């Protein structure tokens, strides 16, 4: 009986201690998961990457001087980009380029606004 009782009782640790330890472990795992989800999985560099993607697109628009309105779907990144071009105030040689990246839930992730000089053939 005594031997059996000893078997049930974990050697050197009370059941309360073990349960406390397990609780702490579970708490730590939850905390780690929360930290991962809150801080690591939504890393700011992902947003920066999208911002850089917009800057790259703006550069291409500038280089090619193609000022049109369009929407580009980037499935692999789970976003779509809306491009809008309009004349700046009454100046025909100045174009406002607006690029905005949205998630597929239509949440704005990043935007890029820039004024571009419309080059003529003399430049």
Give residues in contact with other proteins (CB under 8 A): 10-13, 17-18, 20-22, 24-25, 28, 31-32, 35, 39-40, 43-45, 47-48, 51, 55, 88, 91, 93-94, 96, 98, 112-117, 120, 122-123
Classify each residue of 104-120 as buried b or exposed e, where b means 16 or more C-beta atoms within 10 Å of its C-beta.
Answer: eeeeebbebeeebebee
Q: Closer CB to other proteins, residue 57 or residue 116?
A: 116
Please report how close the Cβ of residue 3 comes to other proteins at its closest, in angstroms. Answer: 15
Question: What's the closest the beta carbon of residue 109 comes to other proteins, in angstroms?
Answer: 12
Closest approach of other proteins to the CB of residue 104, in Å:
23
How is residue 116 written in tokens? 């571009």
Residue with Cβ nearer other proteins (10 or 74): 10
In angstroms, the CA 27 to CA 58 distance is 47
Q: Which residue intervals of 2-122 are DSSP H helices?
A: 2-8, 15-35, 44-64
Residue 84: name the closest of 93, 72, 76 by CA. Answer: 72
């Amino acid at each position: 009986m005594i031997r059996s009782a000893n078997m049930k009782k974990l050697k050197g640790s009370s059941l309360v201690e073990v349960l406390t330890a397990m609780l702490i472990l579970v708490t730590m795992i939850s905390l780690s998961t929360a930290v991962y989800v809150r801080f690591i999985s939504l890393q700011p560099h992902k947003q920066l990457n999208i911002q850089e993607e917009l800057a790259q697109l703006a550069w291409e628009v500038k280089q090619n001087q193609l000022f049109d309105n369009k929407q580009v779907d980037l499935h692999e990144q789970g976003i779509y980009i809306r491009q809008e071009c309009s004349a700046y105030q009454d100046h025909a040689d100045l174009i406002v380029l607006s690029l905005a990246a949205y998630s597929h839930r239509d949440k704005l992730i990043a935007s890029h606004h820039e004024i571009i000089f419309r080059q003529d053939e003399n430049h």
